[in-house]
Structure 1
Amino acid sequence: MKILFLSSWFPNKLEPTNGNFVQRHAEAVATLQDVEILHTIGDFDQKETYIFDDKVINGIRTLIIYYKNSKNPIQNFVRRMKAYKMGFAKLQKPDLVHANVLHNNMLFAVYLKSKYGIPFVVTEHWTALRKINQHQTSSAIKFIANYIGNRASALLPVSNDLKVSLENLGIKKPMKVIPNVVDTQLFEPNHSQSEVFTFVHISNLIPRKNADKILNVAIKLLKEGYQLKLKIGGDGETKTLREIVKKEGFENQIEVFDTLTSPEVSEKLKTSDCFILFSNDENQPCVIAESFASGIKVISTNVGGISEFFPSDFGILVDEPNEILLENAMRKLLNEKEITNKTEIADYAEKTFSKKAIAEQFTAVYEKILN
């Protein structure tokens, strides 16, 4: 089958990690199907109206069209749709479109269905559409999500929490939960035991990730005499974290790092004992699945769809991003003497999140629609 991936978010020169979970889904599907990717994004700094970036990335033809951004949202929308049309003309005609994120960009999938009769499915990741957040999300966004969703052949949210939320928006189409994917050949356990129990946090370090709270708790435990290490960082602002570590004098116990490549993320995870995610809000974070694939435990806030893919003995879920709850969870793991069964954790990830598992689930949906 020829499958065209369209996405509202996708890694590009302006935002190198944005929507990388969509890219991973496409790469999984490409193990079984003939996949191409089309993405458009506005750039305020470019002189030309359109720039075509057409290349093969990880074996998949990926066409990203940059259009000249303006302060006029209507002009931007018109340019974006024109960019999609020009890009589509350069690619093979697909049997099915796999759209991602119910943003107005995906009106192009509706256009392709009406003009050429090409069916489309939508994978949804967007926290703005979670039921708990819908009161803060604009009526226009919700209207467009409903309009596109009810013209799709199927909706494929990454968590049941999001599935219930899409139903709450009034989307009546068939839905199936298919989670994010992990490259289980890259993310795998390191079976040696670390000398000092090591926690790790990797994110984009935006405020809702609460990296500062994780750092505060680690410093408190170190001051109490606990033997631990913390590795913390990602593609966000790390200056403040570094200053706090230096001021408190824990440079030997706490490592702060900047943006990592995927192999570097894998190395950080497999050489740690526990990943910490302490967000106010999430859907189904790839990094928890990557941690399980690396055979390590996880402490996480119990938000979004996290608990749906979190066996009870693989870590600790806390009810809210409260430092006392995190401190109790970290203490519990530090005081535990049992050896983590890395193979059991990694096997669960292989069955649940591997490219093979995800590609087979998507393919079954495509076949049902096309047959």
Structure 2
Amino acid sequence: MMNVLVVTDKLDMGGAENYFCKLENKLSHPEIDFYYAAAEGELCVNLQNKKKFSNLSRKNHLHNLWILRRIIKENYIGIFHANSLRMVFYGLVLKWFMKEKLHIFYTKHNVTMLEKYLPLVFRKILNRFIKRIIAVSEFEKFQLIDLGIESRKIKTIYNGVDLQQFAYQRKKNQIPQKIGILARISKEKNQGFFLEVADACRHHPDLIFYIAGDGPDYQSIHQQIINLGIQDKVRMIGAVHTPEKFLRKMDVLLVTSHREVFPMVVLESMAVGTPIISINRGGINEAIENGKNGYLLHEHSKQEFCHKIEDLLSNDLKRLQFIKEARKKVETAFSLQKMIQYTLDEYSLVLNEKKVNSSNDKKMRKSFKHY
């Protein structure tokens, strides 16, 4: 018997946290039981298997290790699936302390401080102690290989979109036309540049710009709106709990980040039928094909972003082509069903390995009895 424990830090709104919820909702295998653990947050309402879910603390690490140790011991956990580097360290401590044959999986969602400042330590930990690494884009996979991580350990599994939740919806002609951004409000996501684009488009009275999300830079972005004098052009709407509704209301979505791995909002926007103009960062070009199902720009040029907005909103044929091709791409390459199946395949590799080892042990015992 071999069961799986899936863990993440906390269930606040975010990419890794939504990924955790998708696994919690959809993982199912006739030979594996699944258990889950995380600190509480707003996404707890999305959990469907609460009998198999354990609450962790945000700060008390010893308490968390005690809880996770109990889950592993009582439920024959063979795979510890970490969704953050902190959870990887939890797994390593538990494996050492319990002397269990615990296989640690790591889904890498973002750039970590360890790989940035101590890449040799990061490489040694992953190569020596991690059984499987799931990269959410080919870009991230090759970044890991460039750091010296063994390629045989890494499998790319794209984050999947629930095509029912993010169902396609035909857009109605509306005035004013809505340009949106949906992301944590932070320097990394670069909402400041989004405001520069809004300012560059101020000569278009029928364009309104919407900032969805919350984060550490909320107040500074609000002040920047005032400083630019574009209060009539920009709306800040705060945290969004139903991203599919926000995305459907937008005519165009912008992605302006300084750095990305593979943002879910790109796939979600493609799924609902909202065309995207994005900076080319990380694995975004694995979803958006420039000029076919969206626009990819290589530089943060507010004039170029403004030009592409004008082009999309004035060219019905091109806009409809982008929408059609984007939805098709998500259906064929980025469905939630594919993500779940490929993840189960990774678990099954370990399960089958265990069966082979068990069979070999039995054969050896029989041969010893014979002698």
Do they superpose with TM above 0.5?
yes
Q: CA RMSD in A?
A: 3.1
Question: Within 2, Cα distance between the matches of 1:104 and 1:245?
Answer: 36
Q: Is the Cα contact below 8 Å between 2:71 and 2:77 reproduced in 1?
A: no
Q: How far has the Cα of 1:40 moved from its partner?
A: 5.9
> Which residue among 104, 107, 114 is the counterpart of 1:123?
107
Which amino acid in the other structure matches residue 107 of structure 2? Answer: T
Pair 1:186-2:183 in alignment: no
Deviation for aligned residue 1:127: 1.8
Match of 2:328 among 338, 347, 367: 347
Structure with higher helix content: 2
Secondary structure (helix, strand or coil) at the match of 2:55 reads strand
The percentage of counterpart residues that share the same residue type is 20
The yes-or-no answer on 1:66 pairing with 2:48 is no
Offset of 1:347 from its aligned partner?
Answer: 3.2
Work out which of the residue numbers 65, 90, 96 in structure 1 matches 2:79.
96
- Paired position in structure 1 for 2:344: 363
Larger RCO (CA within 8 A; separation ≥ 6) = 1
8 Å CA contact retained: 1:38, 1:88: no
The structure 2 residue matched to 1:316, chosen from 295, 313, 322, is 295
Alignment of 1:1-371 (within 5 A): 2-7=3-8, 9-11=9-11, 15=12, 17=14, 19-27=16-24, 29-32=26-29, 34-39=33-38, 57-60=47-50, 61-66=52-57, 80-89=64-73, 92-101=75-84, 103-110=85-92, 115-128=99-112, 137-139=116-118, 142-144=120-122, 146-172=124-150, 173-196=152-175, 197-222=177-202, 224-225=203-204, 227-236=206-215, 237-242=217-222, 245=225, 253-261=233-241, 263=242, 265-312=243-290, 313-338=292-317, 339-341=319-321, 342-371=323-352
Q: Retained in 2: the 8 A contact 1:188–1:294?
A: yes
Aligned length: 337
How far apart in 2 are the matches of 1:171 and 1:359? 24
- 1:104 and 1:200 mapped to 2: Cα distance? 33
Which of the two has higher C-alpha Rg?
A: 2
Post-superposition offset of 1:166: 1.6
Letter in 2 for 1:321: H
Structure 2: how far apart are the matches of 1:65 and 1:268? 31
Q: The residue matched to 1:303 in structure 2 has which SS? A: coil
d(CA) in 1 for partners of 2:159, 2:25: 10
Unaligned runs of 5+ in 1: 42-53, 70-75
- 2:195 is aligned with what amino acid? L
- Output the amino acid matched with 1:38: A
Unaligned regions of 5+ residues in structure 2, if any?
A: 353-371
Secondary structure, counterpart of 2:200 in structure 1? helix
Distance, in Å, in 1 between the alignment partners of 2:297 and 2:91 is: 39
Q: Normalising by structure 2, what TM-score?
A: 0.79
TM-score, with normalisation over the residues of structure 1? 0.79
